[in-house]
Amino acid sequence: MNVTRATFDEVMVPNYNPANMVPVRGEGSRVWDQEGNEYIDFAGGIAVNVLGHCHPALVGALTEQGNKLWHLSNVFTNEPALRLAKKLTVATFAERVYFANSGAESNEAALKLARRYALEKFGEDKNEIIAFNQGFHGRTFFTVTVGGQAAYSDGFGPKPGAVLHCDYNDLEAFEKLISEKTCAVMMEPLQGEGGIISPDADFVKGVRELCDKHNALLIFDEVQSGVGRTGQLYAYMGLNVTPDILTTAKSLGGGFPIGAMLTTAEIAAHLKAGTHGSTYGGNPLACAVAEAALDVVNTPEVLSGVVERENLFRELLGEINDKYNVFSEVRGKGLLLGAALNQDYAGRARDFLVAATNEKLMCLVAGANVVRFAPSLIITEEEIRDGMARFERAVANVVNA
């Protein structure tokens, strides 16, 4: 059957507006479309393709497991899930793991666990959740309500209650909001969708201390910042603050759908048998691929290489800005970077994305004012320089249009 971009408009729900080209093959940080055009991938499937496309370790793990066992219900466990959970607990603060299919599902589980924990330990009045404006935690109705962007949650009827918001990096406002009614605080240790906003060290430390003071659980949403993205395995490791619950997805599977919620044994005990579940959570195929991805990423050479690549990205973006003066700053950490547009180009991030695609470069936006880059952690220097040359042509096209 011959399919094209036009087929999308004929058969798909119109909640996406994909590019005109249709990718068909990828290798490393290069992608080819139906016409045979080659693209450099600075998007990584929105911080998902942590090792690029078709990494041999991931292909090998999927092939091997695909010839063994595809799926079981959670009436049974399986070896890949147990190995992956063990490696996650060894590598992090966590003692217990719950597997899901996505970041949203992982966050849904975290929020339900926090509510259940508070109910059983402190009573039904301790049910408020605090999150931060411009935060993003997924698209289920609970998680999108907790996320601090009303545009994503408005228009679907009454929202889940007892969810409060304040500005990120505003410790004073947060201190006024938190109380003995607060059961949990959910935050990204580096805001992604909201504009690639890094946290102040004192802010994160203050949030942790206030959570402790009010017996509230601190949930770190590391769906986008986790699995090596910032140069540490998880971003909390570079902040010297440990959460009570951590969620991870995206890069965890290197492109295969999987998510996980990590927590302590004491907190996990409140998610007793039957209180939550997932048909595909802990799927053997997903866990086998994720184990392979974790084994590759969680090495000194890959994690230190993230910092080296960040420096090259910043250097080349600086050179582009010296010529065209379009960015006010480059934000973020590691290989989750955002080029924030200055006042002259405010609101035009998508123009730069479209121009980049036309120059055979795949990148992202983070809101209307930030061009976002989240490539493979092992993208080569040659690919970075090639991609940035294409991005410079895109910038020139926007500036000169």
In this structure, are residues 163 and 129 in contact, taking their beta carbons and an 8 Å threshold? yes
* CA–CA dist 110, 305 (Å, integer): 31
Other C-beta atoms closer than 10 Å to the C-beta of 71 total 12
By the 8 A CB rule, do 137 and 165 touch? no
CB within 8 A of 313, min separation 6: which ones? 330, 335, 337, 373, 384, 388
**Separation CA 124–CA 41 (nearest Å):** 48
User: What is the 8-class DSSP label of residue 252?
Assistant: G
222 is in an annotated binding site: yes
Sign of CA dihedral 247, 221, 316, 40: positive
Counting Cβ atoms within 10 Å, is residue 307 exposed (0-12), middle (13-18) or buried (19+)? middle
- Per the annotation, does 65 bind a ligand? no
Is 8 marked active-site? Answer: no
Known active-site residue 112: no
For residue 183, give every residue at least 6 positions away whose Cβ sits within 8 Å of its Cβ, in sequence order, or none: 114, 115, 117, 118, 119, 122, 126, 127, 128, 129, 216, 217
Options 42, 132, 136, 352, the catalytic residue = 136
Q: What is the residue whose two structure tokens read 């991805």? A: 293
Name the pairing type of β-strands 217-221 and 30-33: unpaired
Alpha-helical (H) ranges within 101-154 are 103-122, 141-146, 150-153
Q: Which of 132, 142, 221, 256 is catalytic?
A: 221
Which one of the listed residues 126, 250, 333, 360 is annotated catalytic? 250
CB atoms within 10 A of CB 371: 30
Annotated catalytic, 33?
no
The response to whether 340 counts as a known ligand-binding position is no
Q: From CA 135, how far away is CA 192, in angstroms rounded?
A: 8
Q: Is 44 annotated as a binding residue?
A: no
Q: Which residues pair with 97 in a beta bridge?
A: 262
Q: Tell whether residue 103 is among the known ligand binding residues.
A: yes
Q: Find out whether 136 is annotated in a ligand binding site.
A: yes
CA distance from start to end of the chain = 39
Which parts are annotated binding residues for pyridoxal 5'-phosphate?
A: 103-104, 136, 221-224, 279
Which parts are annotated binding residues?
A: 103-104, 136, 139, 221-224, 278-279
Which parts are annotated binding residues for N(2)-acetyl-L-ornithine?
A: 139, 278
The catalytic residue positions are 136, 221, 250
